[in-house]
Amino acid sequence: MRLLVTGAAGMLGTDVVAAAAVRHEVVALARADLDITDAEAVRAAFHDTRPDAVINCAAYTNVDGAESDEETATRINGDGAGHLAAAAAEVQAHIVHVSTDYVFAGDATEPYPEDAPVGPIGAYGRSKLEGEVKVAQAAPASHSIVRTAWVFGPHGKNFVDTMLRLGAQREELSVVDDQLGCPTFTGHLAQALIEVAETRPNGILHVAGGGRCTWRDLAVATFAAAGMNVTVHPTTTAAFGAPAPRPAYSVLGSTRSDAPALPSWQEGLNAHLTLREVLAS
């Protein structure tokens, strides 16, 4: 299979490219190679490369920044995703589009299934929902929208590495303890996205790390696994005061047998820490 990967130099895209290259021909396009907001450039890239499938890892991911620049976020996450889906449909390629738990309001008490009502409470979530709509409209018969959550990996800025950096500088930290979600390791997610590109399930799938925890839980587990003695105090989302609202509950569940099941978030954390050591050596 010839697989085109957009956002190929990002935290997730880097792992997707590396994993896919083991068994597929990969066309890796970073932001510098392709501006997905340019519809004609996207169309030309697809006609030049003629992929069998595309995994879209290109995204505007600055959740707080989106609050003051929703237009840019929507141009990338919404319009850009639609351009990719339209171009994929023209060359009969299947599109795998990565979306987010932030399309939900966060007021649930049980894991969100794929058909749960959406209702984003922030600009980032709205921009990603726009992308879902445009992908489904442009490629109705050959698209997979993969919602995931709380992504971390060694090739970009992420919560786990931030905790390790801060923990090396301080003996005590305060971390938000009133948001519940599913931390997801890019190495596990990348393999799942490739599987989806191969099997081509149509529609929305929820694919995230197994289990659930709060950000504080993740911080505590990170320090324990890394052998660091750091006290982690609980704080609230309101007290933390981030510009963008976050869903209080964004645990993803799946009712689809064709949605890949990922290992637990704890396994993902351990894999991430091990890989960090390898890359640092």
Tell me how far apart the alpha carbons of residues 91 and 94 are, in angstroms, rounded to a whole number. 9
CA 73 to centroid of chain Cα atoms: 15
CA atoms within 13 A on the CB side of 219: 24
Contact 199, 258 (CB under 8 A): yes
Residue 263 contacts residue 209 (beta carbons within 8 Å):
yes
Cα–Cα distance for residue pair 279/230, rounded to 1 Å:
24
| Burial class, 23, CB count within 10 angstroms (exposed 0-12 / middle 13-18 / buried 19+) | exposed
Distance CA 271, CA 210 (A): 14
Query: Of 255, 235, 237, which Cα lies nearest the Cα of 245?
Result: 237
Pure H helices in 2-80:
11-20, 39-49, 63-68, 70-74
Q: Which two tokens stand for residue 117?
A: 């009502």
Longest alpha-carbon distance in the chain: 56
Q: Which of 60, 102, 112, 124 is catalytic?
A: 124
DSSP for 156-194 reads S--HHHHHHHHHTT-SEEEEE-S-EE--EEHHHHHHHHH
Q: Is 249 one of the annotated active-site residues of the chain?
A: no
Active site residues: 124
